[in-house]
């Protein structure tokens, strides 16, 4: 039963693995503001500033971006990652998704259209830079390959 959480401004989102609902809490009061309905149980979740969240679902092989200011409206879907699980958004807005099936990360562009894949062992030294320095690089994407992760 995957459990993950993301904070965006004063809102906290929790995936609890019990059903398809994802509660949206007000951080200052702890009250549930909204139950975002998803088509299936999300696995990973990450905040995407200023007003979106990224959700992964390994069972159905998708990564979604939702706008939380518009009632959870779906902005885009990326389906070229097999068993996506963990997700994080770096300072440049690059979405890092870990595949549970392969020892790889998919790096997805802000608009969900471009993807690069790197092996987990190479993630520490990516483009010749230590992972902690990656946010200072300006380019990271190449044309996506036809093969899925």
Least Cα distance to 99 among 129, 114, 123, 119 occurs for 119
What are 125's two structure tokens? 């030294």
Does the reported pTM lie above 0.85?
A: no
Q: Say how far apart CA 86 and CA 105 lie, in whole Å.
A: 9
What is the reported pLDDT for 132?
A: 42
| Cα dihedral: 113, 16, 61, 119 (round 10) | 70
Q: Say how far apart CA 95 and CA 49 lie, in whole Å.
A: 12
- What does the pLDDT profile of the chain (149 residues) look like in tens digits? 557 888 888 888 888 766 677 788 888 898 888 777 666 677 889 999 888 999 998 888 999 998 888 777 889 999 988 899 889 998 889 999 988 888 788 899 999 988 888 876 655 555 555 454 444 333 333 333 444 44
CB count in 10 Å sphere of residue 122:
14
What is the reported pLDDT for 87?
A: 93
CB count in 10 Å sphere of residue 109:
17
């Amino acid at each position: 039963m995957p459990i993950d959480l993301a904070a965006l401004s004063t809102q906290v989102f929790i995936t609890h693995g019990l059903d398809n609902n994802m509660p949206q809490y007000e951080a200052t009061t702890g009250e549930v503001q909204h139950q975002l309905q998803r088509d299936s149980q999300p696995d990973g979740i990450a905040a995407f500033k200023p007003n979106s969240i990224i959700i992964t679902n390994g069972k159905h092989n998708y990564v979604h971006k939702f706008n939380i200011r518009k009632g959870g409206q779906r902005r885009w879907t990326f389906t070229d990652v097999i068993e996506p699980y963990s997700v994080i958004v770096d300072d440049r807005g690059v979405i890092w998704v870990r595949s549970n099936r392969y020892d790889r990360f998919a790096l997805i562009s802000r608009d969900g259209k471009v993807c690069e894949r790197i092996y987990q062992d190479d993630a520490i030294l990516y483009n010749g830079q230590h992972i902690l320095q990656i946010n200072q690089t300006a380019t990271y994407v190449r044309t996506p390959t036809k093969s899925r992760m």
